[in-house]
Structure 1
């Protein structure tokens, strides 16, 4: 038996309004049809229309002026469905889908920086999983995942096989929680001896170190993913609306 997926009504309305904005039917600065007009045109209840409009506002497609109505802003710099933030990509990346080699996987004492990010005592037991990622036969980055030892124990994070899911899924399943948001920290520094050898860079080279700290809704941190990037091989770019 085959099943055909039908998006919920509010999602259908979002898709249609986005299409009209992108096509120029609703140009930037123009007023959006009122809630009542949209309800009549699409045969939807007011809560459904309000939910769709709220999503479009939060994503930057439209803006609300008190007492005047809703107006089109235009296509966001990067539409939410296409936005790829580095921390999210690192948490969801599957090792089986990238060209990589495992450098280490096992318990270590938490370095001071990682301990601070995880809100634990320095030297507390954590599991470190480190891989070297290559692209076009050239070392591209060193990616390290730090998880409290009691969470990582018994999961594939300590094994030698390529991870078939992103780190996020293993941590959520092991801890019985849902990760809610990521805080990123970016620093620049010179490489260690090991990084010079692995990345093929000189001791004077500039590296970018990106730390993504994943937290649950309460703010409690559960995992840190660090990626070290040679500065001459990477460029970080982000785009977001000005509100």
Structure 2
């Protein structure tokens, strides 16, 4: 009889996890127990099977404790309603309002505020020449203490110089500040999402577990016909759900 393969073991363990035999946070059987269950004497086959499950994002190894089924707690991000001030408590940002309503503790760390030449893709979104000076505000967002997203927001420097947006300080609502600086309301936003695997630097920045994808979201905010802010978000795919209400006719 041919020896069981690593892929066969991984597929069977996946089935058992999905069937609820091993619920989230449950410890998988020990190496010795799994070898007996699957009739193999090869530790390498078992190691390869667990690697397949790690890459699939189903399990996580904890040094000195064992291998556990991964638990996912996802924050629901409502792309349709989150920027409507009428849909959230006064003085709260969209992320703050959403996380508080879902029982998630949000942290926001302002990492840097700098003036830099516009990269080509950001310049195109803002309809300015490449190299135009922009103010960039960089944030790291944590959810229940875990790094969960980064956000780099770009503004035309000539429009925001001298305002709080250009200074190294937290702002309760940067959009309210931007509307006040421009003297005109912000009217709509466009979002484009791309799911992909992270770069090594992104894995480190978000402390991503093996097999975790990221979602790169580019949001362009307009005041009337004029784009006035571009934000590049990078989301830990294991922490987020994205919801949109799409009209039909």
TM-score under structure 2 length normalisation: 0.56
Q: 1:174 and 2:195 equivalent?
A: no
Q: 1:225 and 2:239 equivalent?
A: no
Q: Please tell me whether the aligned partners of residues 151 and 171 of structure 1 are also in contact (alpha carbons under 8 angstroms).
A: no
Residue matched to 1:214: 221
Q: For 1:1-243, what aligned pairs fall within 5 Å after superposition?
A: 85=80, 88=83, 93=93, 98-164=106-172, 166-201=173-208, 205-217=212-224, 219-243=225-249
User: What is the deviation of 1:220?
Assistant: 1.2
What is the count of residue pairs matched by the alignment? 158
Of 95-104 and 179-188, more deviation after overlay is shown by: 95-104
Point out 4+ residue stretches in structure 1 off by more than 6 angstroms.
94-97
Q: Please tell me whether the aligned partners of residues 96 and 162 of structure 1 are also in contact (alpha carbons under 8 angstroms).
A: no
SS at match of 1:168: helix
Cα-Cα RMSD: 2.8
SS at match of 2:205: helix
Q: Please tell me whether the aligned partners of residues 193 and 203 of structure 1 are also in contact (alpha carbons under 8 angstroms).
A: no
Residue matched to 2:31: none
Residue matched to 2:51: none
User: What is the deviation of 1:177?
Assistant: 2.1
Structure 1 residues 95 and 158: CA distance shift in structure 2, 3 A: farther
SS at match of 1:99: strand
User: What is the deviation of 1:95?
Assistant: 9.0
Question: Which consecutive unaligned segments of at least 5 residues does structure 1 have?
Answer: 1-82
SS at match of 1:163: coil
Structure 1 residues 105 and 118: CA distance shift in structure 2, 3 A: same
The structure with higher relative contact order (CA 8 Å, sep 6+) is: 2
